[in-house]
Amino acid sequence: MFVLAEPGTDYFADAPVAAWVEVLVDCPGAQGVFTYRLPPSLVVQPGDILSVPFGMQQVGAIAIRCLATPPTDLEPTQLKDVDTLLQTGFFSATYWQLLTRVADYYCTSLMQVVRVALPPGLLTRSQRRVRLVDGKANGKRQTANGETDASPPSSPLSPAAQQLLTLLNASKTGDYTWQYLQRQCQGAHQGLQELVRNGWVENYLEPPATVRPKQRLAVTLVASSPTDLTLTTRQQEILAVLRRQGGELWLADLLQQCRTSSTTLKGLAQKGQVVIQPREVLRREHAPTIAADVSKPLTPDQTAALEQLQALSGFAQVLLHGVTGSGKTEVYLQAIAPMLENGQSALVLVPEIGLTPQLTDRFRARFGDRVCVYHSALSDGERYDTWRQMLNGDAQVVIGTRSAVFAPLPRLGLIVLDEEHDSSFKQDQPAPCYHARTVASWRAELEDCPLLLGSATPSLESWVFCRSQKAEGRREWGIGSGESGVGSREPESSRPSLEEKLREPNSNHSPTLRSSPVALHPLPLFLSLPTRVHDRPLPSIDVVDMRRELHEGNHSIFSRSLRAALLTMKERQQQGILFIHRRGHSTFVSCRSCGYVVTCPNCDVSLAYHHVHSEAIPLLRCHYCNHTRLLPNDCPTCHSTYFKHFGSGTQRVAQALAQEFPDLRVLRFDSDTTRTKGSHRALLNQFAAGEADLLVGTQMLAKGIDLPQVTLVGVVSADGLLHMADYRASERAFQTLTQVAGRCGRGDDPGRVILQTYAPDHPVIQAVQQYAYEQFVATELGQRSQLNYPPYGRLVLLRFGSTSPIAVQQAAERVALALADLEAHGVERLGPAPAVILRVARRYHWQILLKLPLHTAVTLPDSTTLRALCASNVSLTIDVDPLNLF
Ligand SMILES: Nc1ncnc2c1ncn2[C@@H]1O[C@H](COP(=O)(O)OP(=O)(O)OP(=O)(O)O)[C@@H](O)[C@H]1O
Ligand SMILES: [Zn+2]
Ligand SMILES: [Zn+2]
């Protein structure tokens, strides 16, 4: 077991008498954890909302943990008293358990977890109010048994308290904002405390009922047909787009979709074709209206999967392995539908925003506005509004990316991780470097609901966890975490305390059966959808040897068979997808004469060539720090004119396509063309509407696109994927290629995949071609187990960064020394070593990689100790279960 908890970090210990409390203050100008003294009359639980004095103000604060002793680094006299308890139960109790668990497991502070979990300014947006305890019951106060008691308070009220009471009694509703009362009454603070003590009034927190409406410019089509003969072609095109989109779009979206200027749109407004006016938007993600949709009759495999899923009660981890196009989404939808009817909510996590529009549309078509979208690209206001919406308690479906695993949904009935193998569920930086799948398994356990992991190409972690259980007996470690307790559903009394776990660290993830009476968590469930819906065949995959193409005189980046297939596709008016491994025009520009490569002055990486269209000025850009410069005409060192870019990024492929297939209409779909919000949706809509023949793009294409008219998938070159310097390269290559291939043949016409490579005999290529997932997994697992790589070992990566090359190296070496003892416990240490890219944006990086045996107890020095070994100008990030090692 890997323990990196700070000493005394048991947030939930029943401290004998908590006399101090650590709170999270979250207001403009201050965000952090502060300690306060608790007045004896206050009983506080983690997660309660308090009011505390902060500088000259009273601010809202969230209680994080109660302390029995004051912090040693502070004079007790320096500590201020908590003012009042504003609200208890604002967060569910398990919510803070989850956040604490994330902080402990990922070796980071709770504050950092709070930053990813909660929208900023949560408290300052809410309003503190004061109300009479018994409504308008004049001067009555509540007794301990809840009855009202008309007897006068033990001591006469102070003038301030009396004034407050009079004010509150005069109010129709018996309440006021605290701000108002403070303005009306001198000494309001003392007066209020007196009244609260006597049980006459109480504080409470009101979330803003009406959010200040946000206005945005919208463009509305007013003329029904473009009879105006003075309209330019461009203007007509814009009107056509607007009409196709239902006649109304936000100005920004229209500008983006048509790549036009607001002057052009104003011209249209002047001609009376459109009206541009401000409209109110609810700051949840703008949802286009979608035709309602009903449940599809399920295939027998889908029915079987759904029935097994619905037979579960409480926590269980379920792997749904369904080939591409097998209808996993329909299973999610039909599993969720009855839950919503029962007042339960569901959380659906997806890898990337690019994937969400289509999936979100399907959910909205089924469940209407009970669906909301939550991801980190939302503005603070949108995040906040969506959060508020979740706290109101209505059953709903939240679809979001990894940070949505923290969405405060009421009564969770199911958590779904779609495309569970996807590495974007893992956060690399900043800390906490959490994996949404691991956190989701804890959350599902805390909420006692199933976690459903869906994929056509499950991660090896999930596969091993869900497939090898029956043979080896019940294990007690969770998917992707290797950690204990994740799945334990022991009765509270028999559940080991944190201390017990620390004393007996191995007991919880040993693969052996634990003896009764301790109940173990339920067996993970494995569900399978082995065929596509309607028994559609998976597309055939042709592997083309590009070495042979070259030997036979074809210097193009397109093989002869890909070329022929593209032409046939165009002829038959079908659509295709062309997959490219990298973004940018090419990865580097170099001199063919002297070998000089243009690199970034800040980072040790080559600059990428960017050439947006044929008339644009060619630029060189750093993908790490965004440093940009013009492309020199000749080599800066030897002045040779053989100074060219290499590679096959999307831009280069788009240009080659334009040259070789001038009739083909091409759309680029990569991180350059989908940078702005809503652009994924816009591009996919354009493609779905048949405005292009070919969608050209990177990894994003592999994810979830479901278009029946796509019959051809081309992979320009699989080699970039195969040769990444990473122990996961094969797994990733298999997953990406299989997913990309799966985008075609999803309609009535069968699909065809042409996979170009210089390594046609590579085992991954062979496995992809034959759809041999299980064989691939078996081979790959053999190699992983030999080298103790996950899922047969655990990794912890320590990353050091600094602007000082000396300080960073020294810190890494000092920490390495502190970790030297671990070798005796079977921990393998790689490094310290400079990171592969040593300098990124003027910072130097070093790293230490630890390989931990899976079934042995290992306790690392705690993170504070390790950080103390680093100079103040050196940052240390601890990445537990890292996915990207370089
Ligand atoms: N029972 C069904 N009857 C008819 N059509 C179905 C059924 N189930 C799913 N479909 C349709 O089949 C297509 C593929 O389904 P879906 O996108 O859910 O597959 P998937 O398993 O998620 O695929 P991928 O992993 O490739 O994203 C969708 O267009 C969906 O509407
Ligand atoms: Zn040169
Ligand atoms: Zn740079």
Cα 589 to ligand 2 centroid, rounded to whole Å: 11
Q: Please, are residues 859 and 847 in contact by the beta-carbon 8 Å criterion? A: no
Residue with tokens 């003294």: 37
pLDDT average, residue stretch 734-756: 91
The token pair that represents 674 in the structure block: 């989908």
| Top-confidence residue, 654 or 468 | 654
pLDDT bracket for residue 260 (50, 70, 90) = confident
Q: Is 870 annotated as a binding residue?
A: no
Closest ligand 1 atom to residue 529 Cα is 21
Closest ligand 1 atom to residue 739 Cα is 26
Rounded CA separation 867/436 (Å): 25
Radius of gyration, alpha carbons of the chain? 30
All residues at 6 or more sequence positions from 258 whose CB lies less than 8 Å from its CB, including other chains: 237, 238, 241
Q: Is 625 annotated as a binding residue?
A: yes
Rounded CA separation 153/792 (Å): 68
Q: Is 594 annotated as a binding residue?
A: yes
Backbone angles phi, psi at 66, to 5 degrees: -95, 140
Closest ligand 1 atom to residue 706 Cα is 17
Cα 654 to ligand 2 centroid, rounded to whole Å: 27
Rounded CA separation 654/664 (Å): 10
Kindly identify the ligand whose nearest atom is closest to the C-alpha of 593.
2
Kindly identify the ligand whose nearest atom is closest to the C-alpha of 330.
1
Q: Is 600 annotated as a binding residue?
A: yes
pLDDT bracket for residue 415 (50, 70, 90) = very high
Kindly identify the ligand whose nearest atom is closest to the C-alpha of 608.
3
| Top-confidence residue, 835 or 238 | 238
The closest residue, in CA terms, to atom 12 on ligand 1 is 327
Rounded CA separation 674/682 (Å): 9
Kindly identify the ligand whose nearest atom is closest to the C-alpha of 421.
1
pLDDT average, residue stretch 623-637: 78
**Residues lining ligand 1, Cβ inside 6 A:** 296-299, 302, 322, 324-330, 456, 533, 704, 706, 742, 746
pLDDT at 510 over 50: no
Cα 728 to ligand 1 centroid, rounded to whole Å: 28
Distances (CA, A) of 585 to 368, 400, 607, 632, 737: 41, 31, 11, 16, 21
Q: Is 603 annotated as a binding residue?
A: yes
Cα 841 to ligand 3 centroid, rounded to whole Å: 5
pLDDT bracket for residue 451 (50, 70, 90) = very high
Mutate to test the pocket of ligand 1, among 306, 330, 700, 748 (most ligand atoms within 8 A of CB): 330
pLDDT bracket for residue 245 (50, 70, 90) = confident
Cα 79 to ligand 3 centroid, rounded to whole Å: 46
Q: Please give the pLDDT value at position 437.
A: 96
Rounded CA separation 724/734 (Å): 13
Lowest-pLDDT choice from 191-205, 309-323, 401-415, 587-601: 587-601
Closest ligand 1 atom to residue 705 Cα is 27
Mutate to test the pocket of ligand 1, among 299, 323, 328, 536 (most ligand atoms within 8 A of CB): 328
ipTM: 0.94
The token pair that represents 308 in the structure block: 């097994």
Lowest-pLDDT choice from 176-180, 365-369, 447-451: 176-180
Kindly identify the ligand whose nearest atom is closest to the C-alpha of 741.
1
Closest ligand 1 atom to residue 329 Cα is 18
The closest residue, in CA terms, to atom 23 on ligand 1 is 325
Interaxial angle between packed helices 679-688 and 356-367, expressed in degrees from 0 to 180 and rounded to the nearest 10: 80
Closest ligand 1 atom to residue 297 Cα is 1
Mutate to test the pocket of ligand 1, among 706, 707, 736, 748 (most ligand atoms within 8 A of CB): 706
Number of H helices, E strands in the chain: 26, 37
Q: Is 258 annotated as a binding residue?
A: no
Kindly identify the ligand whose nearest atom is closest to the C-alpha of 305.
1
Rounded CA separation 91/104 (Å): 20
The closest residue, in CA terms, to atom 15 on ligand 1 is 327
Cα 395 to ligand 1 centroid, rounded to whole Å: 25
Cα 657 to ligand 2 centroid, rounded to whole Å: 29
Q: Is 66 annotated as a binding residue?
A: no
The closest residue, in CA terms, to atom 24 on ligand 1 is 324
Single out the residue of 693, 723, 758, 740 nearest to residue 557, CA to CA: 758
> If you average pLDDT over every residue of the chain, what do you get?
78
| Top-confidence residue, 521 or 271 | 271
Percent of residues, the chain, with pLDDT higher than 70: 77
| Top-confidence residue, 322 or 93 | 322
All residues at 6 or more sequence positions from 823 whose CB lies less than 8 Å from its CB, including other chains: 829
Residue with tokens 């302390």: 67
All residues at 6 or more sequence positions from 530 whose CB lies less than 8 Å from its CB, including other chains: 301, 322, 323, 326
Cα 324 to ligand 1 centroid, rounded to whole Å: 8
Mutate to test the pocket of ligand 1, among 290, 293, 326 (most ligand atoms within 8 A of CB): 326
Backbone angles phi, psi at 639, to 5 degrees: 60, 15
| Top-confidence residue, 545 or 492 | 545
Q: Please, are residues 827 and 816 in contact by the beta-carbon 8 Å criterion? A: no
pLDDT at 13 over 60: no
Q: Please, are residues 326 and 529 in contact by the beta-carbon 8 Å criterion? A: yes
Lowest-pLDDT choice from 100-104, 125-129, 540-544: 125-129
Most confident stretch, 119-133, 407-421, 816-830, 860-874: 407-421
pLDDT bracket for residue 30 (50, 70, 90) = low
Cα 803 to ligand 2 centroid, rounded to whole Å: 31
- DSSP state letter for 599: B
The closest residue, in CA terms, to atom 29 on ligand 1 is 706
Rounded CA separation 83/23 (Å): 12
Rounded CA separation 875/869 (Å): 11
Exposed, middle or buried by CB within 10 Å (0-12, 13-18, 19+), for 193?
middle
The closest residue, in CA terms, to atom 28 on ligand 1 is 327
Cα 839 to ligand 3 centroid, rounded to whole Å: 9
Kindly identify the ligand whose nearest atom is closest to the C-alpha of 839.
3
Q: Please give the pLDDT value at position 508.
A: 32
The closest residue, in CA terms, to atom 3 on ligand 1 is 296
Single out the residue of 348, 365, 553 nearest to residue 453, CA to CA: 348
Single out the residue of 686, 598, 680, 592 nearest to residue 641, CA to CA: 592
pLDDT at 704 over 90: no
Q: Is 622 annotated as a binding residue?
A: yes
Q: Please give the pLDDT value at position 299.
A: 94
The closest residue, in CA terms, to atom 27 on ligand 1 is 704
The 3 state secondary structure assigned to 107-156 is: CCCHHHHHHHHCCCCCCCCCEEEEEECCCCCCCCEECCCCCEECCCCCCC
Q: Please give the pLDDT value at position 612.
A: 58
Cα 533 to ligand 1 centroid, rounded to whole Å: 7
Cα 704 to ligand 1 centroid, rounded to whole Å: 10
Mutate to test the pocket of ligand 1, among 320, 329, 744, 748 (most ligand atoms within 8 A of CB): 329
Query: Tens of pLDDT along 189-230?
Result: 888 888 888 888 887 766 554 444 456 787 877 765 556 778
Cα 262 to ligand 1 centroid, rounded to whole Å: 40
Query: How far is Cα of residue 291 from the mean position of the Cα atoms in its chain?
Result: 28
